[in-house]
Amino acid sequence: MQLATRKMQIKPTNRQSPTRLAVRVGSSRDGARQVANRSREEGITLLIAIVILSSVLFITFSLSSVILREIGAARATLQTEPAISGSDAGGELGIYAVVRQTGAFNDSDTFDSSGVEYEYETEHFQSPFYFSIDVGQIRRFQIYNPNDPFPVSPDNDFHSVTLSGVSATAQMLVYYSSEPPEEGGLPFCGGPVSSPSGSLTCILDNPLNGDDRYWVEVIPLGGLAMTGALDTTDNAGQPKGMPAPPVLDVTGTLGDVQRKIRVDLGSNP
């Protein structure tokens, strides 16, 4: 009897020992932790970079705005002096026009040498026109067309004249321009005006000899100092005012810069 001998064969297996498996699991966890730490560090670095770039951009924009503002201020400073010179020169031209032609004028032009624009205009009327009278004095005011004061005109668009707001009782007398009080003319309208709420209105619808110009004389009663206001209306009944003391409003302009002056040429005629 033969004994059959069996050869035992040992087959390799994929099973790992618990120790090696534990080491590999631990290594995997360490790798995941390192990846997480690296991602966190990269995120912080990106955040810091964004903050730095934002700060740089903010500083850049701030400096740019300051620089642009300073450039604008320097430009305005350079344009200011020529604009002031232009307004002065325009005022001289306006004075010349008023003195030579005795009227209210408007004009504008540009100086070729500097490029400065000037514009001047006069105030035709003041509505109401406030005045004052010293102790023992009287005042006379002329109603006329300031654009063309000398020629006789049948209609200068005056309907009435009113004295009001007097600080002391006064008398108003109205004369035709061709019969002034200093030449012995007789008033065609007038009367007393009491203080402080009294007023007197004279109608100017009937010019003498086609001359629609008038004199107004205000006489404080009792020789006291006083203040008051005169005003006129046009033919439509709207406030028109009294011919004002010649005043020039002049503007000099260069670029974006404007400079204005006002020239007072004297007292009411």
Q: Tokens 């604008």 sit at which residue?
A: 72
CB neighbours (10 Å) of residue 15? 7
Between 7 and 129, where is the model more confident? 129
Distance CA 141, CA 157 (A): 17
Residues 6+ apart with CB under 8 A from 244: 123, 124, 125, 126, 129, 146, 268
**Contact 269/244 with Cβ under 8 angstroms?**
no
CATH topology of domain 124-243: Jelly Rolls (2.60.120)
Give the predicted TM-score (pTM) of the model: 0.56
Distance CA 249, CA 119 (A): 8
pLDDT tens for 71-101 read: 777 777 788 888 888 888 888 888 887 777 6
pLDDT of residue 33: 62
Tell me which residue of 170, 212, 204, 173 sits closest to 189, measured CA to CA: 173
Which 3 state secondary structure label does DSSP give 243? strand
The DSSP secondary-structure symbol of 150 reads S
pLDDT tens for 183-231 read: 888 999 999 999 888 999 999 988 888 888 999 999 999 888 999 999 9
Between 20 and 40, where is the model more confident? 40
CA 116 to chain CA centroid, nearest Å:
20
Amino acid at 140: R
Q: What percent of the chain has pLDDT over 70?
A: 80
Residues 6+ apart with CB under 8 A from 113: none
pLDDT tens for 155-174 read: 788 999 999 999 999 999 99
**173 HSE (CA, 13 A, CB side):** 17
